[in-house]
Chain A
Amino acid sequence: MDYISRIGVSTPRKESWDKVTGAAKYNGDIVTPNALHAKILTSTHAHALIKLIDISEALKSDGVQAIITGDSFPALSGPMIEDRPPIAKDKVRYFGEPVAVVVANSEEEAMRAIKLIKVVYDPLPVVNSISDSIKSGATLIHENLGEYHCPVEDVCPQPGSNIADHMKIRKGDMNKGWTESDIVIESSFSLPQSDHLAMETRNSKAEILPNGNVIIHTSSQAPFSVKEELSKIYNISEGNIIVRVPLVGGGFGGKVAVDLEFIAYLASKTVGGRLVKVANSREEDIASSPSKIGVEAKLKIGATKDGIIKALECTYYVGCGAYADTGPRMAKAIAVNCTGPYNIENVQCDAITIYTNHTFVTSYRGFGHTAFTFCIERILDQLAASLGIDPIELRMKNAIAPGNLSPTQDKLTLSNTGNLVKCILRLKEIMNWQEGSRIITDNGMIRAKGMSCFWKTSTSPTNASSGVILTLNTDGSINLNFGGVEIGPGMKTTIAQILAEKMKMDIDKIHVVMDVDTQTTPKHWKTVASMTTFMVGNAVIQAAEDLIQQLKNLGSIVLKCPPDDLDIKDQKVYLRDNPEIYAPFKDLVHGYQYPGGSSIGGQMIGRGSYIMKHLTSLDKETGKGKVGVSWTVGAQAVEIEYDPRKYTYRLLNAATVIDVGKVINPKTASGIIMGGMSMGIGLATHEEFLYNDSGILENTSLRTYKLIHFGEQPKYIVDFIETPQIDAPFGARGMGEHGILGIPAAFANAISLATGFNFNKLPISPELIWKTMTGGRYDTF
């Protein structure tokens, strides 16, 4: 097939047919009869000293090869603060924390043996909430907080406290802001911890070869982090670590943390390097592996009577559970974007990362943005109600615009931010806002609409980078190799589309290396932050240009003309002024052979790379600096039908209008947005970790941790605005996470409007509505 432009064309995923035939292989699908199996014994206490671990009975159990504990290979891990032993040592800090690992011939023998390990705990007072943790005299979760090594310079744990980090934003003059405000509103907000719940639970395999190579097979969004962290913590040369990642069954941020890879490596090490497999059960995946942050926040907002926001003061306590992982980075993301996509000149924000005796956290779709979006968008609705202004109108008045400064005082442009007002206006139309946002229907139900805007930037490391290698087959087709992991959003295909467009060739002649192997795949920072299309897209454009140059150079010899007279299309290098004179790629890419045999050129390899530019670290006192190359803005709405007799609701419609710069693959893009919205509905209505008084997580299975099922979803409406980002591939902004961002807020706004009560806590269950409105006693019925 000849070249047709693939930009803006719905293109099925390259791996589509593998995924509908069962042929697609995920990490656990590679059957390895030679593998030993590791099973993890996890803590039954939320906070306790480990007095004794008796493994003697377990060691005698059939099939057991070895048992390791935190004392076997002591080390501390963590990307921001090295505070976490992969297996607990001396004490446990959350329910579900790994305490011992059994390596056995089979999974069932390992399962049997872990039951025979006796652990004696000496319980400590449990820090069971953020408010417990920040009380004066609170029990310390990390007694030696001041002694931990922090691999990043801008994270500073506070010794003698449960504070992992404190991030500040100081912009403008708060006194001026309050003075100019005619109205000031204050509110508190609460969002619980919850789970990523990728359908594929985390699982890893490790073996250590006689030559010293450590081979890790894992389900990860960050294979290069696995390599780098293993290297650092266990002092192995990076070149000796090879991490292989096939298709991943969903990530949502949860597979960014290096977690089971440590356990698999230690397990293999303890049995002489044999291949060892470790896989989480669903219960372990929920309770033991990292989860989403919990947040408690207080906001105070001031505005003129016309609805111009003059000041915002906010305090966010970001609960990171027992270990920091990327918690401080999510607190930073909250702080640096705390205003939402609104122009507020006077801003004060403190985002404090707090340890508790809950499951530790890691990145989660939205990277903290969902939390502050909930708070700011709820308080905006409260402000709108107090001022008697339509919530949409209030947002239009304050919408961020070119020339405004972000909370970190970074200058916004149309290119780096997009057009929020256009998104809002389109949303208004889609949601038929003019019919009213609260309507009582004939059967006594209340139909209510709530909306929310959002913005998100990457808050990546300032040196995050990506690379692409293009190799060629003798038929002139291209192999595309890059380090982004295919976790679901189809970015392997998106990048192939970009390459096909640059090379002006049939996408079917582009073969994507689907798996990642850190030894042979160029590094991509991590498959996170909605940055893969942007970063790898820029790298692949560079690689394509590199390849085109090579093709033209050789073509100029073969076709006897200057390189600049040549162009490429349909796998041919041709003379621009006479396309009938051309050389096909297949005659060039592995060297050109003259009649008679002598050859010139040689194998072509295209290479491209990208590194984030102009990002800076932030001023410690004011937060001034640049945290991301761009923002993506949008507006969302949820329409519900509320039953005032039963205090229940039904989701009718949910809409997103997002300025993505350029839609590369429309169906894939709207699918990703819908998926995000679906997760947002989960956070809004269902999902939360429920801890009992002893800090034990009570909903660790899908029987009690509920996801929405088929048929309960609203009708989704997704629309795109295209304001190109100049430095992005074909103008395309990041959009992978964004569908989730404003949905909880829009839903809470709709419920608050329907009920006349303010709902500032998630999730909003019918029982919560009933309790809030009646006081929660049956006899008030």
Chain B
Amino acid sequence: MLEVLGTTVLTLNVNGEDRKVVAKPSDTLLYTLREELGLTGAKPGCENGDCGACTVLIDDWPIKSCLMLTVEAIGKKILTVEGLKNAPIQKAFVENWGFQCGYCTSGFLMVCHALAQIHPDADDHVIEEWLQSNLCRCTGYEEIENAVKAILKKEV
């Protein structure tokens, strides 16, 4: 049985590297990524699972890191926006003006990236289902739609 009773040094696999972090059971993954590892690409927007700005991938699937305890991520593969090395979605966002202020961008990128990996043939319905997990206040979403469709069509 795994037990974490208080502040502990844990090993997390982040962006392909094993990283040691100091965390306690009540720390959220978002907090540990940002404050312990300085990976501030994942943003706090609501800390309530509503906005998606903190989305990271856990074992290839999008997860809102504000709603995950750090201890739950032990033994899992964590991918943050900092670990996206020239993923097509990044270029697609730049080329399609998929952001303005950029605060929601990391979260959208992670969802789009995961979608393209898991459902490369996603239709409009699936795209909508996945991307409705995130909020953007600056764009009209159309630019983001164009970006994700560009990578699904392998135009980027």
Contact = CB atoms under 8 A, between A and B. Distances in A.
Contact of A21 (B51, B81, B104): B81
A149 to B, nearest CB: 35
Contacts of B43: 26, 28-29, 199-200, 249
Interface in B60-109: 80-82, 84, 90-91, 93-95, 97, 99-106, 109
23 contacts: A10-B97, A12-B97, A18-B102, A19-B93, A20-B81, A20-B93, A20-B105, A26-B40, A200-B43, A247-B101, A247-B102, A250-B138, A251-B101, A488-B101, A488-B102, A675-B138, A675-B139, A677-B140, A709-B132, A709-B135, A710-B128, A711-B141, A713-B140
Most buried by A among B47, B51, B97: B97
B53 A199 contact: yes
A711 B111 CA distance: 15
B39 interface: yes
Interface string A103-128: 00000100000000000000000000
Nearest to B83: A22
A654 to B, nearest CB: 8
Nearest to B42: A22
A194 to B, nearest CB: 12
A752 to B, nearest CB: 24
A284 to B, nearest CB: 11
A249 B143 contact: no
Most buried by B among A22, A23, A702, A709: A22
Given A15-B102, A702-B46, A713-B140, 12 more contacts: A26-B43, A199-B53, A199-B101, A199-B136, A489-B100, A675-B139, A678-B140, A678-B141, A679-B137, A708-B141, A709-B132, A710-B144
Contact of B100 (A29, A33, A197, A672): A672
Enumerate the 7 nearest inter-chain pairs by beta-carbon distance, A residue then B residue, closest first. Answer: A22-B41, A249-B103, A488-B101, A674-B140, A19-B102, A702-B50, A488-B100
Contacts of A12: 94-95, 97
B104 A199 contact: yes
Nearest to B110: A22
A104 B97 CA distance: 41
Contacts of A279: 44
Query: Looking at chain B, what size class is its interface with the partner chain?
Result: 35 or more
Nearest to B41: A22
Interface string A733-749: 00000000000000000
Nearest to B128: A711
Nearest to A704: B50
Nearest to A673: B140
B65 to A, nearest CB: 13
Contacts of A668: 97
B135 A702 contact: yes
Interface of B: 26, 34-35, 38-48, 50-51, 53, 80-82, 84, 90-91, 93-95, 97, 99-106, 109, 127-128, 131-132, 134-145
A282 B46 contact: yes
Contacts of B101: 198-200, 247-251, 487-488
A411 interface: no
Given A199-B51, A488-B138, A19 B46 contact: no
Contacts of B90: 17, 20-21
B38 to A, nearest CB: 5
A281 B48 CA distance: 10
Given A26-B43, A678-B139, A31 B100 contact: no
B90 to A, nearest CB: 4
A671 B100 contact: yes
A19 B135 contact: no
Contacts of B84: 21
A702 B142 contact: no
A252 B93 CA distance: 22
Interface string A459-479: 000000000000000000000
Most buried by A among B38, B44, B53, B102: B102
A281 B50 CA distance: 13
Contacts of B139: 671, 674-675, 678
Contacts of B142: 674, 713, 715-716
B135 A199 contact: yes
Interface in A216-275: 247-252
Contacts of B80: 22
Contacts of A715: 142
Interface string A16-46: 1111111111101101010000000000000
Contacts of A251: 101
Contact of B44 (A28, A677, A713): A28
A667 B102 contact: no
A490 interface: yes
A152 B26 CA distance: 50
A560 interface: no
A701 interface: yes
Contacts of B99: 19-20
A672 B136 CA distance: 13
Nearest to B108: A710
A31 B48 contact: no
Contacts of A646: none
Given A703-B50, A710-B144, A199 B45 contact: yes
Contacts of A201: 44-45
Most buried by B among A19, A197, A281, A707: A19
B141 A22 contact: no
A18 B137 CA distance: 19
Contacts of B94: 12, 16-17, 20
A675 B132 contact: no
B114 to A, nearest CB: 15
Contacts of B35: 31, 33
Most buried by B among A16, A17, A33: A16
Contacts of B104: 199
A10 B95 CA distance: 10
Contacts of A671: 97, 100, 139-140, 143
Most buried by A among B45, B135, B137: B137
Contact of A675 (B41, B46, B100): B100
Nearest to A248: B101
Nearest to A674: B140
Contacts of B34: 29, 31
Nearest to A675: B138
